[in-house]
Amino acid sequence: MTGIGCSGNIPVPLKYNIVRALHGRALSVATGIKLVRPDSEVVIFAGDGDLLSIGGNHLIHTIRRNVGIKVILVNNMLYGMTGGQVAPTTPMEAITHTTPYGNPEPPLDACRLAVSLGATYVAGGQCH
Ligand SMILES: Cc1ncc(C[n+]2csc(CCOP(=O)(O)OP(=O)(O)O)c2C)c(N)n1
Ligand SMILES: [Mg+2]
């Protein structure tokens, strides 16, 4: 499964069946696939905007339901595909196209959110 965003291109070269859902809805479509095909391995690649902003509601309830899917949240701390707008993960004071004077809002910690909702496995990493 992929969301819509730069990160949605990650699985494209892989030889798997790939479904692209509407921006923010990858979790819901993946839940449907897993329920219909419980023996399938369902993995989502999607961005921080996709999973935490427009799809934030779905993230909460997908974790709560624990249907057995894996989510790779690719956090580049903004909306990359649409040109670099502020996202819920953008650090405070960061300059983006929509925060030219610096982001006034504190960022959301996706790993802590997932742990608080009872996700069975949570890990975070950094690339430089
Ligand atoms: C319903 C809907 N709203 C808005 C958009 C426009 N849109 C496309 S990609 C994107 C944000 C992508 O950001 P992110 O999910 O963080 O992915 P990135 O490109 O940073 O990897 C938005 C808002 C859309 N395609 N569909
Ligand atoms: Mg992003």
Average pLDDT over residues 76-83: 97
Residue 121 lies in a domain: no
- Report the run of H or E that residue 27 belongs to, with start and end: helix 26-36
Tens of pLDDT, residues 16-31: 999 999 999 999 999 9
**Residue 128: is its pLDDT beyond 90?**
no
Provide the pLDDT confidence category of residue 88 given band limits of 50, 70 and 90. very high
Question: Whose CA is closest to atom 11 on ligand 1?
Answer: 79
| Residue-level pLDDT at 65 | 95
Average pLDDT, the chain: 96
Question: Whose CA is closest to atom 3 on ligand 1?
Answer: 23
Rounded to whole angstroms, how far apart are CA atoms 33 and 18? 11
Residue 94 lies in a domain: no
Average pLDDT over residues 82-105: 98
Total structural domains in the chain? 1
pTM score, whole prediction:
0.95
| Residue-level pLDDT at 119 | 96
Q: Which residues line ligand 1 (CB under 6 A)?
A: 3-7, 22-23, 47-50, 54, 74, 76, 79-82, 87
Q: Which residues pair with 72 in a beta bridge?
A: 45
Provide the pLDDT confidence category of residue 12 given band limits of 50, 70 and 90. confident
Residue 92 lies in a domain: no
Residue 31 lies in a domain: yes
Question: 68 is in which domain, residue-wise?
Answer: 6-83+110-116
> At which residue do the structure tokens 């949605």 appear?
8
Among 54, 30, 59, which Cα is nearest to 42's?
A: 30
Which residue of 7, 25, 45, 50 sits with most ligand 1 atoms within 8 Å of its CB, as the best mutation to test the pocket? Answer: 50
Tens of pLDDT, residues 30-56: 999 999 999 999 999 999 999 999 999
Both tokens assigned to 75: 């956090």
Question: Whose CA is closest to atom 2 on ligand 1?
Answer: 23
